[in-house]
Amino acid sequence: MKKGIFYGIILALFVVFSVNLKIDPSDFFAGIPNLAELFADSFPPDTSMLTIGAIAILETLQIAFIGTILGTILALPLATLSARNLFSKRFIVPARAVLAMLRTLPSLLWAVIFVIMVGTGPFAGVLAVMMYTVGYLGKLQYEAIEGISNEPLEAISSTGANKLQIIRFAALPEAANNLLSQLLFMFEYNVRSSTILGFVGAGGIGFYLGSYLRFLEYDKVLMLLLITFVAVIIIDYLSILIRDRYLAKTLR
């Protein structure tokens, strides 16, 4: 009965919300020749873009890496203050509010703000990735810390250890596997989202992608997309390797 109401509401919302979106399958099918034209235009990919593209994707990876690391370092103290099994409401409420606020904007919008603040270039990108990482990873981190079992926390606090020592000797080591695996996940995610930061001037391959799209030079765009594709696959593969090699082993 309750379930029926729930599905009914979803269905009603679906109908109401789709009305003004001009959803029209015939448009979709009529557009297929456009796509064919686009492909024809972009083949063959312009290999002269290889060097520029490689340098630019490297900058994207740098932005993602530095932003992720800085974000992680800032997220961890906030996540610790947000964990119910470590702190009282007095700390949890403000710490979680900060994390939630940082999470409201996607990194692309953070990039817009930082380009205005520090000017165009990769530094704005690093700051944008960092901000979003703090908000998003911080949430994952406090959930990981809250997920550890109570016994080690009780045992270490029973030795008379202070709060910092309890965090260092119980909370963090017990959550370490999850924290590390989330860090990898966040890095992969940031690599992807960093590829478009250049659209708004925040560095990396997105700058070229955006420019050549505007100039309709699709053969160059395709080359840049291929480079991005390869880089993302390599990062994902490395990430799997790290997971298998270092994380699987320490699992209990």
Partner 1 sequence: MKNAIELTNVSAGYNGEYIIKEVSCSIPEGTIAVVIGPSGAGKTSLVKLMNGLLLPKRGSLSILGEKSRKNKQLNIKKNIGYIPQHLGLIQSMTALENVLAGSLARVGTWQSLLKIFPGKEKALASKLLSMVGLQAKKNKRVLELSGGEKRRVAIARAFMQKPKILLADEMLSDLDIILVQQITKQLQKLRDKFGTTIVMVEHDLKIAKSIGDQIMILREGKNKGVFPKSAITDKLLNKAFAQVQQ
Applying CB under 8 A, the residues found at the interface with partner 1 are 151-162, 164-165, 168-170, 173-174, 176-177, 250, 252
Residue 251 DSSP class:
-
Nearest to partner 1 of 177, 239 (CB atom):
177
- Closer residue to partner 1 (CB): 37 or 151: 151
- Please, what is the minimum distance in Å from the beta carbon of residue 160 to partner 1? 3
Q: Which is nearer to partner 1, 3 or 245 (CB)?
A: 245
Burial 52-67 (b: 16+ CB within 10 A, else e): ebeebbebbbbbbbbb
Minimum CB separation of residue 76 from partner 1 in Å reads 13
Nearer to partner 1, 84 or 168 (CB): 168
In the complex, least distance from residue 166 CB atom to partner 1, rounded to whole angstroms: 9
Return the closest-CA partner of residue 67 out of 119, 135, 117.
Answer: 135
The greatest distance separating any two alpha carbons of the chain, rounded to the nearest whole angstrom, comes to: 73
How far apart are CB 68 and partner 1 at their closest, in Å? 23
Nearest to 145 by CA among 188, 92, 106: 92
Q: Which amino acid is at 205?
A: I
